[in-house]
Amino acid sequence: MERWLEYHIPDYMEGHKISEFLHQMRFSNQNLAVLKRMPESILINGSCEYMNYRLKKEDFLQVHIREEKISQKIPPKSLPFSIVYEDEDIVVVNKPAGMPIHPSMNHYENTLGNAAAYYYGQQNKAFVYRCINRLDKDTTGLTILAKHLVSGSILYDSMVKREIIREYFAIAEGADLPEAGTIDLPLGRKPDSAVERMVDMASGERAVTHYKVLGRKEGLAFLSLNLDTGRTHQIRVHMSAIGHPLIGDFLYNPENSLMKRQALHAGRLCFNHPISGKQIDLSAPIPEDMLMVFPEFRGYL
């Protein structure tokens, strides 16, 4: 990918180094190290400069990002790639059920990474795969991909600082589920399993899930959920732990067959754009398999 970032230097940054200004713009140390190795990546008023150049007010700074390598271990494949939002810095995709985020031993050519590699390969654009918020294979919904090293670094930092607001929607067994609640239970790996997680009060990592019941019918509850943390299988394990597992969840609720996958959808994302800073607020419709159980939520998003 190639990207030009442009900045007009404000008065208060006069006398500061370019590197100091870029740190204020949330460039990471690694970003700066990579940019130093890129030829003609830093320009002041059209001329190449080093990172230690002292800025003058009204200087015009350009950062020229050129990434010519691609993710070598992700073969391009023509797969569903439903774009909800795209610009020069990010792309947000509505991931379908049954699609893993990353290639692995058993899923080498059917992942979101393969779909992204194909999409940008068709445009003859070098694309390094950087997925910001990961979803389980059978969880549907919004996933952010960064299109270059700077947007990726800023978005990863935003995830760590919990600046990206994610709202999930789920269907749980919920005849007696309270109208709203918070689940604060630590999670860890289940012994002898590479996949499953469990509540681990002794050595688990803290995990906090907030839920609200939006609708009920026939012993089921349609939920909105927000996370303070982002542990693997967090919603699935937490809901199971309080006795209200998600329907269709083959790992944590194997006896329920109302759906062919866990009823979980990443329906809303709200975050500040990594480069412009403007607020991005996106949604993806509730998928059809969940609407077959709760058709009254058609058009909710």
Residue whose entry in the numeric block shows the structure tokens 């200087």: 59
What is the rounded CA–CA span in Å between residue 236 and residue 18? Answer: 46
**What is the reported pLDDT for 139?**
98
Domain containing residue 17: CATH number: 3.10.290.10
259 part of a folded domain: yes
**What is the reported pLDDT for 92?**
98
Q: Are strands 60-66 and 90-95 parallel, antiparallel or unpaired?
A: unpaired
81 part of a folded domain: no
Q: Domain boundary residue among 66, 99, 122?
A: 66
Question: Which tokens hold the place of 267?
Answer: 């329906």
11 noted as active-site residue: no
**What is the reported pLDDT for 257?**
87
How far is C-alpha 262 from the chain's CA centre?
A: 19
15 part of a folded domain: yes
101 part of a folded domain: no
What is the rounded CA–CA span in Å between residue 42 and residue 22? Answer: 11
What is the rounded CA–CA span in Å between residue 142 and residue 133? Answer: 9
Q: Give just the sign of the alpha carbon dihedral 218, 224, 226, 230.
A: positive
- For the cut 90, the answer to whether the pLDDT of residue 105 exceeds it is no
Of residues 59, 136, 138, 249, which has the active-site annotation? 136
The rounded mean pLDDT for the chain is: 95
Tally of structural domains, the chain: 2
How many degrees, rounded to 5, is the angle at CA 227 between CA 226 and CA 232?
130
Domain containing residue 224: CATH number: 3.30.2350.10
**What is the reported pLDDT for 107?**
80
- For the cut 90, the answer to whether the pLDDT of residue 51 exceeds it is yes
Q: In what order do the strands lie in the sheet with 47-48?
A: 2-8, 60-66, 42-44, 47-48
- For the cut 80, the answer to whether the pLDDT of residue 104 exceeds it is no
- For the cut 80, the answer to whether the pLDDT of residue 214 exceeds it is yes
Predicted confidence band at 71 (pLDDT cuts at 50, 70, 90)?
Answer: confident
Domain span at 177: 167-266
197-217 average pLDDT score: 97
25-53 average pLDDT score: 96
99 part of a folded domain: no
- Comparing 175 with 274, which gets the higher pLDDT? 274
Predicted confidence band at 69 (pLDDT cuts at 50, 70, 90)?
Answer: confident
Question: Which tokens hold the place of 217?
Answer: 């019918």
267-272 average pLDDT score: 98
Q: Domain boundary residue among 14, 41, 66?
A: 66
The CA-atom distances, in angstroms, between 36 and each of 33, 54, 130 are: 5, 16, 21
Q: Are strands 140-146 and 264-272 parallel, antiparallel or unpaired?
A: parallel
pLDDT 10s digits, 123-163 = 999 999 999 999 999 999 999 999 999 999 999 999 999 99
**What is the reported pLDDT for 68?**
87
70 contacts: CB under 8 Å, gap ≥ 6: 117, 121, 126, 127, 128
94 part of a folded domain: no
What is the rounded CA–CA span in Å between residue 70 and residue 287? Answer: 32
What is the rounded CA–CA span in Å between residue 158 and residue 272? Answer: 9
206 part of a folded domain: yes
Region for residue 106 given its phi and psi (left: phi exceeds 0; alpha: psi -120 to 50; beta: otherwise): alpha
The CA-atom distances, in angstroms, between 163 and each of 16, 85, 156 are: 28, 19, 10
Percentage, residues of the chain above pLDDT 90: 91
274-299 average pLDDT score: 97
Identify which of 60, 63, 59 has the alpha carbon closest to the alpha carbon of residue 51.
63
The CA-atom distances, in angstroms, between 218 and each of 172, 276, 293, 298 are: 11, 47, 10, 18
175 part of a folded domain: yes
- For the cut 80, the answer to whether the pLDDT of residue 275 exceeds it is yes
**What is the reported pLDDT for 124?**
94
Residue whose entry in the numeric block shows the structure tokens 């303070």: 228
Q: Domain boundary residue among 49, 66, 83?
A: 66
104-110 own/partner pairs: CB under 8 Å, 24+ apart:
107/137, 108/75, 109/75, 109/77, 110/77, 110/79
